[in-house]
Amino acid sequence: MKALAEPSSFTLDNGLTVVVLPNDRAPAVVLTLWYKAGSADETPGKSGVAHFLEHMMFRGTKNTKPGEFKKILGGLGGSVNAGTTFDYTFYVEIIAKEFLEKALSLEADRMEKMVINEGEFQTEREVVLQEYLTRIEAEPAGKFFQSVNAAYFAQHPYGRPVIGWKEELLNLTSKDLMDFYKKWYAPNNAILVVSGNVTEKEMRVLAKRYFGQIPKGNVPSRKRLKEPSNLVGHSKITHSHHKYGGVEFQNIYKVNQFEKTFKNYFIFKLIESILTPALQTVLVDDQEIAHIALSTYPSDHKDPYSFIIIAKPKSYKNMDKCQAIIEFLLKKIINHGIHEKIFKKAKEDLIFSLNASLSDLDDTALLFGTLMSIGYKFEDVKNWENILKGIELKEANDLLRSLFNTPPAITAIKSYGEN
Partner 1 sequence: MKRAPYSTILLFLCVHGLTGAIAETLKVNEIFTPQKSKVWLLEDHSTPIVCVSIVVNKGGFNYDPAGKEGRSAIGAILTSHYMNKFRREMQEEKILGTSLNTQQGHQKISFITSPQNLEKSIRLVLKILVNFESEIKLLRQAKHSFDGEYLEPDLSSPFTFLIKRWMALSFPRHAYGSFVGTKDGVTALNLSDFKDYWKGKLTKDNIRIAVTGDISEEDIKATIDKALSDLPTNSNEKEINIGHISPAEAPLFQVFRIESPQSHFFMAQKGPRKKDKDYHAFIVLMDILGGNPHTSILSQEIREKLGLVYSIQAQPEGDIGLWQILFSTDNKNAGQVYKEVIKTLNTILSSRISKEKVEASKKALLGAYATTFVNFSGTCLLLAEGLSDDEPPTFLSDFIQKLEAVTVEDVERVAKKYIKPGALRVVVLGNPIMVAS
**Residue placing its CB nearer to partner 1 in the complex, 26 or 324:** 26
Q: How many CB atoms sit inside 10 A of residue 360's CB?
A: 15
Output the CA–CA distances (angstroms, integers) from residue 122 to 99, 171, 216, 279, 408, in the order listed.
Answer: 32, 11, 30, 48, 43
In angstroms, the CA 268 to CA 266 distance is: 5
Binding of partner 1 at residue 74 (CB under 8 A)?
yes
In angstroms, the CA 315 to CA 288 distance is: 11
**Residue placing its CB nearer to partner 1 in the complex, 98 or 379:** 98
Binding of partner 1 at residue 94 (CB under 8 A)?
yes
**Binds partner 1 by CB under 8 A, chosen from 43, 45, 63, 75:** 75
**Binds partner 1 by CB under 8 A, chosen from 24, 379, 398, 418:** 24
Q: Strand, coil or helix: what is 231?
A: coil
In angstroms, the CA 345 to CA 347 distance is: 5
Binding of partner 1 at residue 71 (CB under 8 A)?
yes
**Residue placing its CB nearer to partner 1 in the complex, 97 or 208:** 97
Q: Among the candidate windows 63-71, 229-237, 314-322, 407-415, which touches partner 1 by CB under 8 A? A: 63-71
**Smallest separation, CB 81 to partner 1 (Å):** 12
**Smallest separation, CB 259 to partner 1 (Å):** 31
**Residue placing its CB nearer to partner 1 in the complex, 133 or 170:** 133
**Smallest separation, CB 359 to partner 1 (Å):** 4
Give the pairing type, strands 307-313 and 248-253: antiparallel
**Residue placing its CB nearer to partner 1 in the complex, 236 or 345:** 345
DSSP secondary structure letter of residue 159:
G
Binding of partner 1 at residue 315 (CB under 8 A)?
no
Binding of partner 1 at residue 314 (CB under 8 A)?
no
Binding of partner 1 at residue 95 (CB under 8 A)?
yes
Output the CA–CA distances (angstroms, integers) from residue 307 to 41, 83, 343, in the order listed.
Answer: 23, 23, 19
Residues 6 or more apart whose Cβ sits within 8 Å of residue 62: 109, 113, 115
For 17, the enclosing helix (H) or strand (E) is strand 17-22
**Smallest separation, CB 314 to partner 1 (Å):** 14
**Residue placing its CB nearer to partner 1 in the complex, 83 or 277:** 277
Question: At 21, which amino acid appears?
Answer: L
Binding of partner 1 at residue 245 (CB under 8 A)?
no
**Smallest separation, CB 74 to partner 1 (Å):** 3
Report DSSP letters for 45-108, one per residue: T-TTHHHHHHHHTTS-BSSS-TTHHHHHHHTTT-EEEEEE-SS-EEEEEEEEGGGHHHHHHHHH
Could you say which residues in the range 341-370 bind partner 1, by CB under 8 A?
349, 352-353, 355-356, 358-362
**Binds partner 1 by CB under 8 A, chosen from 52, 90, 91, 99:** 99
**Rounded CA Rg of the chain:** 23
In angstroms, the CA 124 to CA 53 distance is: 10
Q: Among the candidate windows 76-84, 154-162, 312-320, 410-418, which touches partner 1 by CB under 8 A? A: 76-84
Residue (of 413, 160, 199) closest to 309 by Cα position: 413
**Binds partner 1 by CB under 8 A, chosen from 77, 228, 245, 390:** 77
Q: Among the candidate windows 88-96, 161-169, 300-308, 374-382, which touches partner 1 by CB under 8 A? A: 88-96
Residue (of 375, 379, 382) closest to 304 by Cα position: 375
Total residue count of the chain as it appears in this document: 419
Binding of partner 1 at residue 97 (CB under 8 A)?
yes
Binding of partner 1 at residue 98 (CB under 8 A)?
yes
- Which residues contact partner 1 (rule: CB under 8 A)? 1-3, 5, 23-28, 30, 67, 70-71, 74-79, 94-99, 196-197, 277, 281, 349, 352-353, 355-356, 358-362
